Chains A and B, each alone.
Chain A
Amino acid sequence: MRNGLIALMLMLTVPAAAGAAPIGDIRLDSKVKSMRKAGVGPVVYPHALHDKLYKCSECHPKIFKDKRGANNMSMKMNMDGKFCGSPNCHNSQRAFPLYDCIKCHTKVGAK
Chain B
Amino acid sequence: MKASSFRKLKAALLCSLVVAVGYTVGGPAVAAQKKQQGANQAQATPSKKESSTSGIDPKDPSSVIYLDSAGRPAGTGDPGKPASVAYKAGMGWHPQAISASGLPKDRYGLVDWARLVRENIISPKASLDPEEEEIPPLKMDVVITAKGDFVNDVIYPHEMHTYWLKCDVCHPQIFVPAKGSNEMTMVGIVQGEWCGRCHGKVAFPLTDCNRCHSTPKKAASK
Contact = CB atoms under 8 A, between A and B. Distances in A.
A99 B150 contact: no
Interface in B157-191: 185-187, 189-190
Interface in B180-218: 185-187, 189-190, 206-207, 209-210, 213, 216
A41 to B, nearest CB: 12
A66 interface: no
Contact of B207 (A35, A99, A101, A108): A99
Contacts of A38: 146-148, 151, 185-186
B149 interface: yes
Given A97-B206, A97-B207, A34 B150 contact: yes
Contact of A76 (B147, B152, B186, B187): B152
Interface footprint category on B:
20 to 34
A31 interface: yes
Contacts of B190: 99-101
A76 B185 contact: no
A39 B150 contact: no
Nearest to B149: A34
Nearest to A72: B222
Chain B binding surface SS class: loop
Contacts of B185: 38-39, 109
B186 A37 contact: no
Interface residues of A, number: 24
A39 B187 CA distance: 9
Given A97-B206, A100-B190, A101-B190, A39 B152 contact: no
Nearest to A99: B206
B206 A80 contact: no
Contact of A75 (B150, B187, B189, B216): B150
A47 interface: no
A31 B147 CA distance: 13
Contacts of A100: 190
Contact of A79 (B149, B152, B189, B220): B152
Interface in A77-111: 77, 79-80, 91, 97-102, 108-109
Contact of A33 (B149, B206, B222): B149
Given A79-B213, A97-B206, A99-B206, A37 B187 contact: no
A34 B206 contact: no
Contacts of B222: 72
Contact of A99 (B146, B149, B209, B220): B209
Contacts of B147: 37-39
Contact of B187 (A33, A74, A101): A101
B94 to A, nearest CB: 20
In the A-B complex, list the 10 residue pairs whose CB atoms are closest, starting with the nearest: A38-B148, A74-B150, A34-B149, A79-B209, A38-B147, A99-B206, A34-B148, A76-B150, A97-B207, A37-B147
